Amino acid sequence: MRGKALQTSGPDTKLRAVAMAQLPASPDSYKPVPPRAARAGKARRADSPESLAADVESLIAAARQRFPDADLSIILRAYEMAAAAHDGQRRASGEAYITHPIAVSKIVADFGLDPAAIAAALLHDVVEDTELKKGDIEAACGPEVGRLVAGLTKISAIEAREMPNSEAENLRRMFLAAVDDLRVILIKLADRLHNMQTVGALSEERRLRMALETREIYAPLANRLGIWQLKSELEDLALRQLEPDVYEAIRHEIADRRHRHEDFFAEAIRQLDERLRAVGIDAEISSRAKHISSIYDKMERKGVTADKIYDVLAVRVVVNEVAECYLALGIVHSLWSPMEGQFDDYIGKRKGNLYQSLHTSVIGPGNRPVEIQIRTHEMDEVAEYGVAAHWKYKENTASAPEIEEEIAGLRRLLKSQHEDALDAEAFVEGLKTDVFRDQVYVFTPQGEVLELPAGSTPVDFAYHIHTEVGHRCRGAMINDSIAALDTPLQTGQTVRIVTSRGDAGPSRDWLNPALGFVVSNRARAKIKQWFRRQERNQAIADGREVLERQLRRLGLTRLKHEDVSRLFDYAKLDDFLAAVGRHEIPAEAIGTRVLEGEAPEHPDQAGVTLPMPPPLHDPGSISGVTMQGADNLKTRIAGCCHPLPGEAVVGYITRGQGITLHRYDCRNIARLRDSEPDRFITVRWQQTDEHAYPVELQILAYDRPGLVRDISDVIARRGANMASISAATNPAEGSAVVTAIVRISSYSHLTGLLDKIATVENVIDVRRAAG
């Protein structure tokens, strides 16, 4: 197949002649040639020679407009090579495969990227899917195109494409290539956009997987790069696959509302245009509809249907100068009454993804509310193309400093992700938090601005400054006031870190997501690395302490440590304890894995799923129980051990009271296992309702005023109802034992509550009372 790139006869000869005719000596001599079928008035296939010739013509024309002095012949050479390499290949839709790289290159040209990027888009699949190599591309189109294609190529060494982390590894490699050249990401985004536009021919499984990846990775990436239009289109295409009914309902609502409000918007635009022209402002005014995905997001946030979202349609005003933006704003507010609290100035304080505009909502003609957006032509270009506008402005020697700054900042983020990530999955998770997430901008005491993921804390800030500052962080000052280490930072704050002396290290609590000390992947990775470097013996000792504390808290002290290690597939207990001590296995995961394990099954019993019983008025009755060897029996929870949904439980067949569920290690039934084995039945209980169940907690603490109040506050903030609380003090030792009975909905609810109570001042230990 490699030799086909050099062929000089056949259909490509005619195509080359047509395309070469569009490479005149000077830009002024260029005259677009109408496609043959269009001149003849006939329809043609997208993969016909005439269509392909017209596509190449349009690519060259688009590149010439922005890069009149560039070598445009590489676009034609790249097409010839791609057409020959993909000859005979077809997409799932049945079209010739070459239609895909041509479509991707059109999107790249729309971004305003240079001829080298357009050529790389044409060749982006040849190394992966054909016999061509990087050297062949460099020989035909130059080293720059070869380097871009290499960055886009999915590495063939990843042979097991079904492996769950294969896509993560591909993304990792793509982003590493993009550290040196962001055009790699922009071409990849164009590739994903066209694939999502033509996803209909794929199987449902592949469509849903691609849609999920698009929503979680590619759309947030487009947003981070400031390519707002692309971000919205990717989100809409993903929603169309993931929630087709919702998508269609919103689409119909938009179309219906646009039709009903057509006269209203025409009148609003007429009035506004008349007033702006009267003061000498020449503006482009248009109405536009919100993207379907943004309407869906607002529906989800507010819990309403599409017809209850009122800012579906808006008016956009595009002017020439920044001063005219504010003058136009004054005209809008003098023409119509502004709505209270509905104004945002993203020009004076631009968004982290380069977006700039004025947003205001007013009561327009006929007393109808309408949103108005005001921006300059340059802001409109940046809003559409984001960092891709860098190439457009660069060629015209007008590259905006903020775009250069954004590109440099993104490269720093990508590089730090690579250095901090332990594997491909961790890398992608880091992208979701540190790169894709909304950002906050805070100051160091020296006035340096740091960009951090939204929700970051002083601990994240400390690790961003330097790893050792993070390790030795013990306190923080925010705007000269003492602040807790789990305080979320806000844009504009000045943060000072208080460090300890000597060889201090991070706290294990910082890695517990329930406590909220760390948000950024960078900080989390540095903390994990610190624990990984600790001596193995110390790690084993720490791990044993963590394991025993978790089992003690959950009332599972009879469970052997070796049995727990086997649940995590560790043959040796010490290896498991070391992993826990180094926090490779989070403490909260231990209880989850233990309680996911089912009780041992009786060898001759077959599993039977009970049908849902009708609602019972008995408050002790429960649902969602799967049993073995029983059918249609009433179930109740035991009052002695208070099991929770998701725990390993066992059913005890009572006389006339149905089945009582006990925790598998309940001490009250231990003596009956040998004497009455036939009355026990294997049970698995999953949460299927919103009921809460009583759990007794025992809290050991140093006595102090306000102890019970602070514990009660934590319980209330974690959404647990408290049935009772009491305290017994020991004045001689200065200690207290607080007993609280709380109503818990699930095991995860319980573990989060235990972890939070443990952080209350003076609390020594907190555990669930043993059954």
State the pLDDT at residue 100: 92
Question: Are residues 191 and 60 both part of a single domain?
Answer: yes
What tens digit of pLDDT does each residue of 100-140 get?
Answer: 999 999 999 888 888 999 999 999 888 888 888 888 898 88
Q: Mean pLDDT across the stretch 472-498?
A: 89
The CATH number given to whatever domain includes residue 313 is 3.30.460.10
Residue finishing a domain among 494, 515, 532: 532
User: One of 128, 284, 402, 438 is an active-site residue; which one?
Assistant: 128
Active-site choice (47, 71, 110, 129): 129
In a domain, 414, yes or no: no
Strands (E), 629-734: 635-637, 648-653, 659-663, 680-685, 693-702, 721-730
* pLDDT exceeds cutoff 70 at 436: no
Distant-in-sequence, close-in-space partners of 48: CB < 8 Å, separation ≥ 6: 37
Say whether pLDDT at 67 is over 90.
no
pLDDT tens digits, 603-642: 333 333 323 333 323 334 455 555 544 444 577 778 777 7
Containing domain of residue 702, as a range?
693-768
> In this predicted model, what pLDDT tens digit does every residue of 663-687 receive, in sequence order?
777 777 777 777 777 777 777 666 5
Query: What's the pLDDT tens digit per position in 531-589?
Result: 877 677 788 888 898 888 888 777 777 778 888 888 888 888 988 998 888 777 877 77
The reported pLDDT for the residue numbered 538 is: 83
For the chain, how many residues are written? 771
Residue 12 catalytic? Answer: no
Model confidence at 473: pLDDT above 60: yes
Do 641 and 660 have their domain in common?
yes
Asked if residue 423 is part of any domain, the answer here is no
Q: What is the pLDDT of residue 106?
A: 92
State residue 293's pLDDT score. Answer: 87
The whole-angstrom separation of Cα 253 and Cα 249 is 6
Q: What is the CATH number of the domain that holds 704?
A: 3.30.70.260
Task: Judge whether 450 lies within some domain.
Answer: yes
CB 387 within 8 A of CB 364: no
Q: Same structural domain for residues 513 and 474? A: yes
Spatial separation of the C-alpha atoms in residues 473 and 459, rounded to whole Å: 7
Domains of the chain: total: 6
Range scoring the smallest mean pLDDT among 175-189, 602-616, 719-733: 602-616
- Backbone φ and ψ of 142, nearest 5°: 100, 160
pLDDT at 19: 42
Q: Which pLDDT tens digit goes with each residue over 183-211?
A: 888 888 899 999 999 998 888 888 998 89
Does residue 419 lie within any of the structural domains? no
Residues 387 and 264 in one domain: yes
pLDDT tens for each residue of 503-537: 778 988 898 888 889 988 778 888 888 887 767 77
* Residues 17 and 86 placed together within one structural domain of the fold: yes
Domain end (from 555, 575, 596): 596
Q: At what angle do helices 292-302 and 244-260 cross, to 10 degrees?
A: 100
DSSP string, 634-663: -EEE-TTT---TTSEEEEEE-SSS-EEEEE
Please give the mean pLDDT across all residues of the chain: 76
Q: CA–CA distance from 726 to each of 458, 702, 712 (Å)? A: 36, 15, 11
Write down the pLDDT at residue 739.
Answer: 92
The mean pLDDT of 76-95, rounded to a whole number, is 88
Rounded to an integer, what distance in angstroms lies between the CA atom of residue 94 and that of residue 104?
18
Do 258 and 384 lie in a common domain?
yes
Residue in 408, 407, 412, 404 with CA at minimum distance from that of residue 522: 412
Q: Are both 327 and 470 inside the same structural domain? A: no
Q: What is the mean pLDDT of residues 318-336?
A: 92
User: Residue 616 domain-assigned?
Assistant: yes
Q: What is the pTM (predicted TM-score) of this model?
A: 0.50
**311 and 211 assigned to the same domain:** no
For residue 350, give Cα distances in angstroms to 226, 341, 379, 439, 450: 11, 18, 10, 12, 16
Task: For residue 69, give the CATH number of its domain.
Answer: 1.10.3210.10
- Give yes or no for residue 431 having a pLDDT over 70: no
CA dihedral (395, 401, 404, 408) in degrees, to 10, reads 160
205 as an active site residue: the answer is: no
- Euclidean distance between CA atoms 737 and 103, whole angstroms: 70
Cα–Cα dist 388/184, whole Å: 11
Classify residue 458: in a domain, yes or no: yes
Instruction: Note the pLDDT tens digit of each residue in 276-325.
Output: 999 999 999 998 888 888 888 888 877 777 777 767 778 999 999 999 99
- Same domain? For 262 and 385 the reply is yes
Q: Is 265 exposed, middle or buried (0-12, 13-18, 19+ CB in 10 A)?
A: buried
pLDDT at 161 exceeding the cut of 60: no
- The confidence band for 11, taking pLDDT boundaries of 50, 70 and 90, is very low
Residue that is last in its domain, among 634, 662, 685: 685
Asked whether residue 403 is assigned to any structural domain, the reply reads no
Same-domain pairing of 255 and 347 = yes
Looking at the domain assignment, is residue 51 inside a domain? yes
User: From CA 146, how far away is CA 152, in angstroms rounded?
Assistant: 10
The answer to whether residues 577 and 464 belong to one domain is: no
Highest mean pLDDT among 42-56, 327-341, 747-761: 327-341
Token readout for 18 is 């047509």
Phi, psi of 637 (to 5 degrees): -95, 145
Q: Do 301 and 179 share a domain, yes or no? A: no
